[in-house]
Every structure is written in structure tokens, then in C-alpha cells.
Structure 1
């Protein structure tokens, strides 16, 4: 990525300083964990949750909501976060679990798994728009659009998004007819047409396919 200098660097540092507003509300001694997910909406693949604890004095240029970044920038930031974070982890819930307990509960499960894998005990959780059942509620802060407002949540969003995208690229090698490497499992016209031509594969979320039709589909299929 192009190196930042001069006025551009000053603007970037000011943007990142504003994204520390929530982190700055807590003592420097606190371990602050950002949590975010990727993959709630796709028709296939897991939902992934990232949990990240950043050093309080760390500045990572271009850190932002993963949806606002190019794949190349996300990949570079993923590696930088891996190297510099105090702790980070990703938790998953696969398509079968999503079908069994619904996407919201699977999302929560993935978030708890990410926290369990951290190896550190956070003092505060900054969450993107949710309160997570099973974690101490008094330690959680729900921030709407948190991935654009908190450096910790932004870092978590990148770890979740890059992990999931790389998994979908691997699945594309197993089931190339669906185009997972291109659309990452989201319900594009190309993806829906492939499902209607070939039927679902083992990583499809059957509860998300109720309105699609394919050869040999049970007429009583209700996604269960």
C-alpha cells in the first residue's frame, strides 16, 4: 500500500484518534476487546466472529470497517493485526449449526467461541450492535455501526471478514460450480442460478433456500 505523508497522514491520524473515543473512556490498564462478525447474510458457508484486543498505544494506519476496505487492504491489515494485537481470535458456526439454531444464535455462539480462544480475559467488550448472551452483560457495550466508530471493533471486523473470505475461496476448490470465490456465498443472481441448476452442496444453509427450486427438490421442503 502507498505510504502516507504530509496532510494525508495528518487526516488519517485524526480519523483514527476519533475512532478511539470509546476506548478512551476506560483506564489504560483495561483490556478492551472488540467483537464483530462476518457472514450473517450469505446462503452458504459459516458465520465468523472476530475478537481483538489491541495495545492502547498502537496506531494501525487505514484501520476501518472491513466493508470500506479493498480486499488487498484488508489482507494487509489482517496480517498487521495478527502481528501487533495483544490477542486475537476467530470463532465459527457452520451452516448446519445455523440451520439448527438460527443465524442469530449461531452468530452469538461464534462470538463466544472467539472470546474463549483469546487467552486473555477482557475487562470490557465493545460489540458491534449486539449484547452477547453468555458473556457478562455489565462488561458489554453495544455500539451501533461500531465497526466504523471503534478501532477495536474495526480490527475484529477485518479478522472475521478475511478469515471467512479465505474459507470460501477454499470451498470454491471443492465446489467450483457455485462460484464461491467470487461472491463468497452471498445470494447473487449467479449463485442462485447455480443452486437451481445443481441443488445445494454441504455448506449451503438450507433454511436460507426456501424460495429456491432445483431438480429433485422435495415439494414439501421447508428448509428444515
Structure 2
């Protein structure tokens, strides 16, 4: 919307006053959306918590590669326009916001648990491990955690589990972006090493292309044996 307004103004299709009005309307809409996504953070601040970490993961379902979790503490006084559930964003937008979050967040922690541990433990426990690693890697210790639909029993910090939290909490949404971009970058490196499997496209998920590659070429060290035994 904002890009369209700039283009129309540049070509003098609309007046400067109309362009400004549309731009303000666009900005106000985004501010309203983000304000709605800060409700949980606002409640935590009202309850005396200072450092609120959102936690989310990427990569529970794929047949290959690690599960990645991220923990993000945002500055409540700094707004990062565009933050949303990573699944609702384009790859280019996620990459842009990844840098914005790292540059403006109070702290970011990332936890990566590989396919060997996933097979050894199971994906749920491996996800919890990745989340705990992410929390422990924060340079600032959080005093409250907002987690997407989970609870970490090995961490004593007060926690709030939020169903569909990546759409409802700006901190969890930020974590979802960090986790998704981090994991996608790992799979792109695998794509360079194993180009015939197509990891750059499917990111390890069980697409037709990926399953056919496994059937014809066999399993790789990065494949999750517990996920691929029926292929």
C-alpha cells in the first residue's frame, strides 16, 4: 500500500495531501495491529515484569534438518513495523525483519537441535530442548516468558502459554521470524551440499520432490530416521 502511494505521488496521479492522508491511514492501521499484538506484553509489564521473552520454533514437521527455536526480548518502547507470524510473511519480508529484530531487540537467543537428537528423544522433547537453549542464550535474563502453545518444565521463570501465540503476541511473532529464517538458512546450505534433493525449495518438508529424491537417492545423514522409516 505504502509503495503504491509513493509510486502514484511520484507520477503525480494523486496530490501530496491525498498521499499523506493515505500514508497516515496506512501507518495508523499498522500501529493498531501491533498494539493489539502487544496486549500480553502490556499485561506482563503491568504485573511488574521488565524483560519479557517471546519463544517460538521452526521445523517440527520436516523430514530433514534441525528444529530451531528462538527467544526474543523486545524493547517495549521500540516499534518494529511489519512483525507478524512468520508464516504470513514473504521470504523477503522475513529476511528484512530478521535484521530489524536483531538490531533493535534487547536480546535474541537461538537454540538448534539436530536430527540425531530428534531421533533419540522425539520431536516434542527436542523442541523443548531447543527452546531452553534459546532462553539460556539470551544475554539479558528474562523475568517472564510468552510461549507459543507450550510450557517449559525445566525452566522456573514465570510463563504464559498462548495458543496461536505467533499471531497474538509481537514477541512470539518476532521469535517465529528469527527461528524460521535461521532454519531456512541452514537448509539452503544443505542445498549447496546436496543439490539433487531440493532443500532450497522445500526446506526439508515432505514434498513430492523430496520423497522421490529419498526413494531414488536414499537417505542422507541429515534425514530424521524416525520421520522417514515408512518411505
- Within 5 A, what are the aligned runs for 1:70-219? 70-136=90-156, 139-212=158-231
- For residue 58 of structure 1, report the CA deviation from its aligned partner: 1.3
Specify which structure has the higher proportion of helix: 2
SS at match of 1:30: coil
Q: What is the TM-score when the length of structure 1 is the normalising length? A: 0.91
Q: Distance in 2 between matches of 1:143 and 1:80?
A: 24
SS at match of 1:134: coil
- For residue 210 of structure 1, report the CA deviation from its aligned partner: 1.7
Please, what is the CA RMSD of the aligned residues?
A: 1.4
Alignment equivalent of 1:56, drawn from 76, 86, 104: 76
- For residue 8 of structure 1, report the CA deviation from its aligned partner: 1.3
1:10 counterpart = 2:28: yes
Decide which structure has the larger Cα Rg and report it: 2
Q: What is the TM-score when the length of structure 2 is the normalising length? A: 0.89
Q: Distance in 2 between matches of 1:30 and 1:9?
A: 27
Structure 2: give runs of 5+ residues left out of the alignment: 7-21
Q: Distance in 1 between matches of 2:210 and 2:188?
A: 14
Residue matched to 1:47: 67
Aligned residues: 211
Q: Distance in 1 between matches of 2:166 and 2:193?
A: 32
- For residue 199 of structure 1, report the CA deviation from its aligned partner: 0.8
